[in-house]
Structures are given as structure tokens and as C-alpha cells.
Amino acid sequence: MNTIFIILALVAFSIPAIVSYRWRHSIRLVANPKVELFVRVLLILSSLIAVITTVGIVLSLLFESIRFFNLVSPLEFLTSTVWSPQTALRGDQVGGSGVFGSLPLLAGTMLISAIAMTVAVPVGLFAAIYLAEYATPRFRNWAKPALEILAGVPTVVYGFFAALTVAPILRETGTVLGLDIASESALAAGSVMGIMIIPFVSSLSDDVIRAVPRSLRDASLGLGATQSETIRQVVLPAALPGIVSAVLLAASRAIGETMIVVMAAGLAAKLTANPLEAVTTVTVQIVTLLVGDQEFDSAKTLAAFALGLLLFCVTLTLNFIAFKVVQRYREQYD
Amino acid sequence: MLAQQQIDPSTPTMGQNQQMSIHLENNLKVKVSDVAVYYGDKQALFGIDLDIYKNQVTALIGPSGCGKSTFLRCINRMNDTIESCRVTGSIEIDGVNISDRSVDVVELRSRIGIVFQKANPFPKSIYDNVSYGPRIHGLAKDRQHLDHIVESSLERAGLWKEVSDRLDEPGTGLSGGQQQRLCIARTIAVGPDVILMDEPCSALDPIATAKIEELMDELRQNFTIIIVTHSMQQAARVSQKTAFFHLGKLVECGETEQIFTNPQDSRTQDYITGRIG
């Protein structure tokens, strides 16, 4: 019912446009400079909105971070291994001095992201290779959308799946094996996050693998290479730049992911590489810092901006590295 | 293994005529009997019978869509890679039916090389392009041997002089004609006995074409060459045998000179004089 209304509304709105268009063009057959100008301005504005928003966000991150660094030294922020974001409400408060060391948060983020990538990259890539190279079209036609549904599941669902299903299972398995697994382990959050980003890797990789020209496969098969030799030595190298960017996108997604870690990872900032322990991440701490009533000029609140900036820098660096890798190793086919 | 048919032509009990026919049979490389090809429900080739002999260039001519390329791709079973494609009939190479279950398609393709219409070098260095086949088949004992295979293949493809100082550069950076010769070198490097060429010069200028035609004439000393071509002049220049295809059927096959000067079928006559196609 709704759809019909929308369609009717669209038709109704477009009638004046069509009429005016026909009317104008019945008078002048040359391209109307005003229409051209209007279209051009519209397009420029649209692209500017994206650019300006990005610049605005980065600038606000930057300025708020500068305010934060006036209160807390950047050295402490970048090198201290203790994260204890408290500010004194009164001068004489006990334990009122906070320490803002981002290292444990960064380590936690990296640990969880690494676990997620360990799950997502092999599974996603192999799934993509299967879909692109081996699967029959019929299987592919339902398997690919099915895989993409994974990307459509709200992350909060993954979150409670991680917290209520995966984490207890891991802990019980750990008990049987004699391992001490925290109930909010990095492993639980990371593996569920890995499942979540599988479609990012697989769907994009599948597209780039299929974009490798058939002639290259024919050349390899024609020389007597087997299908797997062809994939390993011809198709994957040719698709590598695309695969790297797919992996990168997945990595940025993992680093920036919030909901799963809020629910399944811990709050305690611990500097550890043990996936069985509870860790916290940059995103979780940003959420914790901003939830509730906060003054907007305390170091505690401003720390969120500094963390945001840090996250942004990490992602940017990752992008840059990937760009260089792609430039160095790409095998260009044309 | 595709075993070579061993017939001793000098058996003393045989008469002159028998010896002649055995001599011919001994030179028979590919025997195609009653081959039909279907793409899904559509039949592309109808009952093809064709004999192809060693050390000769056999040209397949005919208008576009007549099934020449499809036929060519049957000979090294490249059609296996097309989902809906089905091939019936028998193709014997050195007396072994290639669609037999015991035939390893990978080994078959290493013996029946193919050069495609559009030069398709791998996006790798010139060296890696040529060494690709020998590497996957484990033909080289060591690096030195591999270097030797690469050099001699490029040499035989008439490309060595032009690229010997830049083997590390990407093969895709060469000119069209060089790329096609690189593809020929890549095919030779595996050590096939038959080379299939699917309109190898259709994207090349006359000078590059002349080079490749010259090359074909040299290569036929060691290889059996089957070439699909749209250019009747090319067929006349390079081939010893010519087969004319029309609408999925083999219309006529014979000595190239006879096909072009005295065709038996009126359709062949029409095609070579430019009335159909």
C-alpha cells in the first residue's frame, strides 16, 4: 500500500517537471544553458557536502583534542599504560586524579581486530574464491545474497550473540580444557566480529576475482595449469589490489566497530596480548566517557575526542599502508 | 599418456601402395571423427571429420560464427571450461582418444598449446610469462635450465633480440605484435607438439602479421600447427592444408592450393571469391 502511494507521489511530482521540460524544449531545441547550469551546481553541491562534512568532523576532532591536550600531556596520552579516566569534581577529592594512557585501549582494539581478521580474511577469501571460480551459477545465485545477509544483521544482535551465546560456550570449553577464560574475553568479541565482517571480505573479493579477464584464465588453463594453479598464480595476483582493499575495508570496520565490543568485551583497560582475558577498546571507552551527564570541558569528556582522533589516525595510516602495498605489488591487466 | 603410434614403415612384406598409406597414417597427428558440439540446446558443429598431419600448417577458414574457433578449442578440450558446452564424437591425437577418461586434460593441454585471438600475456614480467608453463609442469631442473628454456623459447618465437635486455619488465608493456609473439613463446616453452592458433593476427598490423606468419613457417618444422583465420590471403600464404567451415559444417578440406584454385564445392567457391561470409 505504502509503495503504491510513494509511486503515485513520485509520478505526481514528476508531471510538472516533464511538462515544463517539454514546454521549454518545444520552444528551444538547443540545450538549455540554465538547465545545464542548474544540474552542474546541484552536482557540485552534492559532492561538496560530503567533502565539507569530512573536513568539519576532522577539524572538530582536532580542536577538541587540542583542548584535551592542554589538560593532559600528549606524552601521557600516547605512552602511559594506565587508563583511568577520572577527573576531580572537588579539589580535595580522594583518588580524583585520572591517568589518560591510550595504549591499553589501542592494544585491546588491535587484539580484537586481529582476532576478527584472523576469522574473516581466510573464511571470506576462500568463500569468494569458491563462489567466483568453482560454484555453479545456480548455487552462486542464492549463496552470495545469503552471505550478504550477514552484513545486514544489526550489530547489536551480534553483540548479544557474542555476550550471551559465544562467551559462555568459550568459558565452559575453557573450564573443560583447564583454561581460565574470562566471561568477557577478547576471543568472544573478536570471533563474533570476524563473522560479522566476512561478507565485507567475501563480497568485494568475489567481485574483483570475477573482474579478472577470462582471457588470463584461458591462457593459464591452455598451458596445462590446473584450476587451483591458475587461481593461485594468475587470478589472485591480478585481483590482489582489490582483495587488499576489501581486507582493508573490513579492518577499518573492525577497528571502528562499537556495539559488539560494548556488549561482549570488557571495560577494564588491561595491556595484554592474551585473547582469553578481558580487554577494552577505544570505541568502548568513547561510549563510556560520553554516556550519562557530562560537563563538556572536563578532561574526561574531551578525552573522547582525542580517542576519536587516534582512531581516525590509525585508520588513515592503515589506508596509506594498503595504498603503498597495492602500488608495489599490483599486476596490472588491461 | 598419449603414446605415439609405432608403425615401422619399412616392413618388408608390404607393397608400395601399402607403404604409402602407412607413411601417411604415420604422419597423421589428429584424427577427428564425427565431432558435434552443443552449447546448451544449440548445436554449433555438425559431424566434423578431419585429418591433420604432422609438420604442416592446417588453416581453418570460414565466415564468422561458423564454428572454426569452437572446433579449435575442442582439440585441447578448452571447451571443458565452458559450462553449457558438450562435445560428442572422437578426436584422436597420436591414436589416443582425448575425451577418454584416462586422458589427463592438464597433460593434454601441455602437449596441445593454444594461442588466442587477443594477445593475453599474464600481468607478470616477460621472464615469468615464459617460465610459467615450465614451472607448473616442473620441466626445469634448476634456475639455469629454466633460464635456458626461457631464452630458447623467446628465440624460437623471434622475440629474444627485442626483449633480452628487459626480461624483468611486464609483458603487458610490449607492443601488440610482441605480446602475441610472447604468447607464442609461452606456449612453446611447455614443449607441445601441436600449436592451435585462434586468429593470432587479427589485432595486428601488417608488419607484425608478416613476422608471425614467417614464424609459423619456421615452427612447422617441429610442430603441427592449426590456425583459424579470417584472412584468406593468410591461409593461402601460411598453410599446406585448408579446411572450409560453413554454418557449423566442414564443407571441404584439401591441399591449400587446390582449395583456392579449384574448390570442389560451390560454397567454398563462393566464399573464397567473396560472395558469402
**Which residues are bridge partners to B88 per DSSP?**
B36
Q: What is the mean pLDDT of residues A250-270?
A: 86
Of B116, B124, B136, Cβ closest to residue A225: B136
Partners of residue A242 in chain B, C-beta under 8 Å? none
pLDDT digits (tens, 9 = 90+) for A54-83: 999 999 999 999 998 988 888 888 888 888
B74, burial (CB in 10 Å: exposed 0-12, middle 13-18, buried 19+): buried
| Choice among A97-106, A215-224, B2-11, B225-234 with the minimum mean pLDDT | B2-11
Residue A265 has pLDDT above 80, yes or no: yes
The pLDDT of residue B242:
94
pLDDT digits (tens, 9 = 90+) for A17-40: 666 666 655 555 566 788 889 999
The residue among A223, A226, A227 with the most chain B CBs within 10 A of its CB, best to mutate, is A223
For chain A, what is the mean pLDDT? Answer: 85
Q: Is B113 within 8 Å of A222 when comparing Cβ atoms?
A: yes
| Choice among A153-157, B8-12, B166-170 with the minimum mean pLDDT | B8-12
d(C-alpha B158, C-alpha A4), whole Å: 68
Measured CA distances, A258 to A72, A285, B37, B223 (Å): 25, 10, 57, 65
d(C-alpha A197, C-alpha A186), whole Å: 16
pLDDT digits (tens, 9 = 90+) for A137-163: 899 999 988 888 888 889 899 998 898
**Under a CB-based contact definition with an 8 Å cutoff, are residues A329 and A240 in contact?**
yes
Q: How many CB pairs under 8 A join A and B?
A: 76
Chain centroid to CA A274? 24
The pLDDT of residue A87:
64
The pLDDT of residue B14:
44
d(C-alpha B70, C-alpha B58), whole Å: 16
Residue with the three cell numbers 587508563 = A83
Q: What chain B residue is nearest to A223 in terms of C-alpha separation? A: B110
Question: What type of residue is B51?
Answer: D
The pLDDT of residue B4:
46
The pLDDT of residue A53:
95
Q: What is the mean pLDDT of residues A89-102?
A: 65
The pLDDT of residue B15:
46
Q: Does B170 touch chain A (CB under 8 A)?
A: yes
Of B122, B136, B170, Cβ closest to residue A229: B136
Q: What is the mean pLDDT of residues B130-136?
A: 94
The band of B174, judged by pLDDT with boundaries at 50, 70 and 90, is: very high
pLDDT digits (tens, 9 = 90+) for A268-289: 788 888 888 888 889 988 888 8
The pLDDT of residue B128:
95
Count Cβ neighbours within 10 Å for each residue of A49-83 and write b for 16 or more, e otherwise.
Answer: eeeeeeeeeeeebeebbeebbeebeeeebeebeeb
Of the two residues A295 and A188, the one the predictor is more confident about is A188
Q: What is the mean pLDDT of residues A88-106?
A: 70
Residue B235 has pLDDT above 50, yes or no: yes
Q: Is B123 within 8 Å of A226 when comparing Cβ atoms?
A: no
The pLDDT of residue A1:
54
The pLDDT of residue A179:
82
- Cα torsion A35, A40, A46, A49 to 10°: value is -120
**Under a CB-based contact definition with an 8 Å cutoff, are residues B100 and B162 in contact?**
no
Q: What chain B residue is nearest to A137 in terms of C-alpha separation? A: B83
The band of A331, judged by pLDDT with boundaries at 50, 70 and 90, is: low
pLDDT over 70 percentage in chain A: 85
Residue A334 has pLDDT above 70, yes or no: no
Q: What chain B residue is nearest to A226 in terms of C-alpha separation? A: B106
d(C-alpha A103, C-alpha A121), whole Å: 26
pLDDT digits (tens, 9 = 90+) for B199-216: 998 888 888 899 889 989
d(C-alpha B172, C-alpha B178), whole Å: 10
Q: What H or E segment, with its residue span, contains residue A66?
A: helix A33-71
Q: What is the mean pLDDT of residues B110-122?
A: 92
Q: Does A135 touch chain B (CB under 8 A)?
A: no
**Under a CB-based contact definition with an 8 Å cutoff, are residues B199 and B226 in contact?**
no
Of the two residues A268 and B114, the one the predictor is more confident about is B114
The pLDDT of residue B3:
46
The pLDDT of residue A325:
75
The pLDDT of residue B43:
92
Which phi and psi (to 5°) does residue B227 adopt? -125, 135
Model pTM?
0.78
Q: Is A137 within 8 Å of B83 when comparing Cβ atoms?
A: yes
**Under a CB-based contact definition with an 8 Å cutoff, are residues A260 and A158 in contact?**
yes
The pLDDT of residue B237:
92
Q: Which cell numbers in the block locate residue B211?
A: 613476422
The pLDDT of residue A18:
63
Of the two residues A171 and B23, the one the predictor is more confident about is A171
d(C-alpha B119, C-alpha A216), whole Å: 10
The pLDDT of residue A28:
56
Helix (H, G, I), strand (E, B) or coil at B161: helix
Of A136, A218, A233, Cβ closest to residue B78: A218
Q: What is the mean pLDDT of residues B147-172?
A: 92
**Under a CB-based contact definition with an 8 Å cutoff, are residues B218 and B163 in contact?**
no
Between vectors from CA B163 to CA B162 and to CA B164, what angle results, nearest 5°? 110
Residue A121 has pLDDT above 90, yes or no: yes
